[in-house]
Each structure stands twice: as structure tokens, then as C-alpha cells.
Amino acid sequence: MSTSGLLPREKEMLGLLKVKVLRGFDLAVRDLRSSDPYVIVKMGKQKLKTRVIKRNTNPVWNEELTLSIEDPNLPVRLEVFDKDTFSLDDPMGHAEFDIRMLVEAVKMELDDLPNGTIITTVVPCRKNCLAEVSRVYWSDGTVFQDLILRLRNVERGEVELKLRWVSIEGSRDS
């Protein structure tokens, strides 16, 4: 559909993705005996950060970060760093995940399903960073997805996330 002569429209926001960064498992040691890890979540031009957990390779953040979703085809990138005071922060691995299965489940416009109903599953493969099977499920009128991501470019480490879709005003679920 050509709209020559008109200014390009900004992409329409589809909804919000609540990314709950739950915890890290067996993260790499980057200081003398431990690390001071934090997580950065990026999607497109958006960049969000958790707080730093001091001296812990099994940190519990339990922090929720919110991304505005315009293009669900963009991957979400997660990066883990060790906070350093007098030098650049040390990388502790990264992972990417795809939200298309979650968005497809939202588009199904499901209603009145029993809590915990599994809508779809995503299995670990070479193309994704999943450490375990990930389930997209329905609970309390909302679509969720649980993920455990294996970090890449690092000797070890996993990060556990819980994704939750929030529809915006004007959509059917508001």
C-alpha cells in the first residue's frame, strides 16, 4: 500500500511486554571469588537494566522491566555484566529470545481458560538460547511465558525469566 507524498507513520504499539528477571544460575566468576552481576534487556532502541547484586553467582533479582512492543519480530537480547568500580564492567554472557509465540498466543484472543492451560511450547534448539522447554500459558486472564536461557560466549550460566503480555488501551483486553 503506497502512501507517496505522506510522511511515514510511526509504528503502532501492539502492547507491553513485562520481562521479570527472576534469577541467575551458576554465573561466571569475574572478580576474585565471585561477581557483582546485573542484567541489561534490549529490544530495538529500548534498553533496560536491573540492579546490581553484590558478590553472588546465583543472584535473585526478581525485577520486572517493561518493553513497548511495536515489532514482535525483533529479538529481545539479554546481556549479563559484572559491575566493576575502577574499570569497564566485565561481560558474563548474553542470550536472545523470540517473543513471536507469545504474541501469537495473545492474538488467539483466548478467554475463560483454566489457569495454567498451556497454549504452546518452544523446545531448545541450536537457533535459540533455551536451556529447557519453554511454555506459553494462560493464567488469570493473561498470557505468560517462562524461560530459562543459557548464556552464550561464556563458560557457564543461565538466567530465568517470566514474560507477561499487557494489552494497551484501545485493544480488546483493556
pLDDT, one tens digit per residue, over 96-128 is 999 999 999 999 988 888 999 999 999 999 989
Given this model, what pLDDT does residue 8 score? 52
- Percentage of the chain with pLDDT > 70? 91
List pLDDT tens digits, range 49-89.
Answer: 999 999 999 999 999 999 999 999 999 999 999 999 899 99
Given this model, what pLDDT does residue 12 score? 86
Given this model, what pLDDT does residue 169 score? 65
Q: How many Å apart are CA 101 and CA 77, to the nearest integer?
A: 16
- Of 2 and 155, the structure prediction assigns the larger pLDDT to 155
What is the chain's alpha carbon radius of gyration, rounded to the nearest angstrom? Answer: 18
SS3 at position 76: strand
Q: How many Å apart are CA 39 and CA 26, to the nearest integer?
A: 15
Q: How sure is the predictor about 9, in pLDDT bands with cuts at 50, 70 and 90?
A: low
Given this model, what pLDDT does residue 7 score? 54
> What are the CA-CA distances from residue 126 to residues 43, 46, 67, 130, 150 (Å)?
21, 26, 26, 9, 11
Q: How many Å apart are CA 1 and CA 39, to the nearest integer?
A: 40
Give residue limits of the domains in the chain. Answer: 15-166
Residue 173 has pLDDT above 50, yes or no: no
Q: How many Å apart are CA 46 and CA 66, to the nearest integer?
A: 10
**80-107 b/e (C-beta count within 10 Å ≥ 16 → b):** bbbbeeeeebbebbbbbbbbebbbebbe
**13-42 b/e (C-beta count within 10 Å ≥ 16 → b):** ebbebbbbbbbbbebbebeeebbbbbbbbb
Residue 143 has pLDDT above 70, yes or no: yes
- For the chain, what is the mean pLDDT? 91
Of 2-6, 34-38, 140-144, 157-161, the least confident: 2-6
Q: What is the second-level CATH architecture of the domain 15-166?
A: Sandwich (2.60)
Per-state percent for the chain, helix, strand, coil, to nearest 5:
5, 45, 50
